[in-house]
């Protein structure tokens, strides 16, 4: 009889305990900003500006806590690609409970009006390589939340407050010109599309521009966005263009990588300063 009662109590407890995905709430008053990037140079620029550094290793990945522009931050390198980005984002959310996640780095330009060094403030992220592959094309589709099995939005919306902050502080930035004599880098707000491929195809970028209304393409952003969206954490992705994602992309990225990484990092640093001031 005692065993039967104990078993019933266990079953009742399991039945009334929400799933992990449902209970992933941020602690009240969390005041840490997580900053992620895929490449070493992208993160090095930010780490050089962090004060009072403390390094923590979790599952062989390195996370650096400290203060950036008056804001408490944790900075980490995700590595390249969607899976790496999702893993690191999950770890930073679970272990540091950030109030928001900022992703900084370079990207390929999709909007034909943009040039290397220009900044894209992401206001929504989507995958360009998730969907249905036919003989003629790949039709992008939405992912599903494994906790609910319901479809996610195809475009994960960045946090409106973070987008507004990024737009406001960007007006006062002194950005680096990748090519002397060219106009100052432009700053636009729009969609960024993500896939596990380095794009060097003009036909692909034309499709991203015409069919998905994207400004840029990267290899991590939507994975970070999906992870944050499903965990209920505000996020934004900041990208500066290193190339036009066309046949010259490999040459261009070597020429413009540093300037692009610098411009993205400068905007992220400015955002953290505004977060420190407002909160």
Q: What is the pLDDT of residue 277?
A: 87
Cα 224–chain centre separation: 5
What's the rounded Cα separation, in Å, for the pair 99 and 97? 7
Phi/psi-derived region of residue 147, left when phi > 0, alpha when psi is between -120 and 50, beta in every other case: alpha
Q: What is the pLDDT of residue 27?
A: 52
Q: Tell me the pLDDT of the chain (279 aa) as tens digits.
A: 454 444 444 334 434 333 333 334 455 446 899 999 998 888 999 999 999 999 999 999 999 999 999 999 999 999 999 999 999 999 999 999 999 999 999 999 999 999 999 999 999 999 999 989 988 888 899 999 999 999 999 999 999 999 999 999 999 998 998 877 788 899 999 999 999 999 999 999 999 999 999 999 999 999 999 999 999 999 999 999 999 999 999 999 999 999 999 999 999 999 999 999 876
Active site members: 42, 243
Q: What is the pLDDT of residue 181?
A: 74
Q: Within a domain: residue 55?
A: yes
Q: Within a domain: residue 18?
A: no
Q: What is the pLDDT of residue 275?
A: 97
Q: Within a domain: residue 52?
A: yes
Structurally, the chain folds into a number of domains equal to: 1
Compute φ and ψ for 135, nearest 5 degrees: -65, -25
Q: Which helix (H) or strand (E) holds 77?
A: strand 71-77
Compute φ and ψ for 5, nearest 5 degrees: -65, -45
Counted residue by residue, the chain has a size of: 279
CB atoms closer than 10 angstroms to residue 226: 26
Q: Within a domain: residue 252?
A: yes
Write out the residue range of the structural domain in which residue 106 sits.
30-278
Q: What is the pLDDT of residue 112?
A: 96
Q: Within a domain: residue 267?
A: yes
Q: Within a domain: residue 1?
A: no
Yes or no: say if 98 and 272 are a contact pair by the CB < 8 Å rule.
no
Residue 213 tokens read as: 């209304």
Could you tell me the CATH number of the domain that includes residue 199? 3.40.50.1580
What's the rounded Cα separation, in Å, for the pair 107 and 199? 10
Q: Within a domain: residue 23?
A: no
Q: Within a domain: residue 6?
A: no
- pTM for the whole structure: 0.87
Burial call 165-200: b when 16+ CB within 10 Å, e when fewer: bbeebbeebebbebeeeeeebebbbbbbbbbbebbb
CB-count exposure of residue 14 (10 Å: 0-12, 13-18, 19+)? exposed
């Amino acid at each position: 009889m005692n065993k039967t009662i104990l078993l019933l109590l266990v079953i009742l407890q399991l039945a009334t305990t929400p799933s992990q995905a449902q209970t992933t709430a941020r602690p009240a008053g969390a005041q840490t900003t997580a900053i992620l990037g895929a490449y070493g140079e992208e993160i090095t620029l930010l780490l050089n500006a962090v004060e009072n550094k403390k390094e923590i290793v979790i599952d062989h990945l390195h996370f650096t806590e400290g203060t950036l522009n008056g804001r408490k931050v944790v900075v980490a390198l995700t590595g390249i690609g969607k899976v790496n980005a999702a893993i690191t984002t999950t770890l930073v959310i679970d272990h540091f409970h950030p109030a928001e996640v900022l992703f900084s780095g370079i990207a390929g330009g999709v909007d034909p009006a943009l040039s290397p060094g220009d900044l894209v403030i992401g206001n929504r992220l989507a995958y360009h390589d998730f969907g249905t592959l036919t003989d003629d094309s790949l039709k992008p589709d939405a992912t599903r939340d494994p906790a609910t099995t319901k479809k996610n939005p195809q475009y994960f919306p960045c946090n409106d407050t973070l987008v507004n902050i990024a737009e406001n502080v960007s007006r006062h930035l002194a950005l680096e010109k990748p090519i002397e004599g060219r106009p100052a880098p432009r700053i636009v707000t729009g969609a960024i599309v993500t896939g596990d491929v380095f794009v060097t195809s003009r036909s692909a970028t034309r499709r991203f521009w015409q069919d998905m209304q994207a400004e840029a393409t990267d290899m991590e952003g939507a994975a970070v966005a999906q992870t944050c969206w499903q965990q209920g954490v505000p996020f934004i992705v900041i990208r500066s263009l290193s190339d036009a994602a066309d046949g010259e992309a490999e040459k261009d990225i070597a020429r413009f990588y540093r300037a692009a990484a610098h411009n993205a990092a400068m905007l992220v640093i400015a955002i953290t300063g505004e977060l420190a001031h407002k909160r």
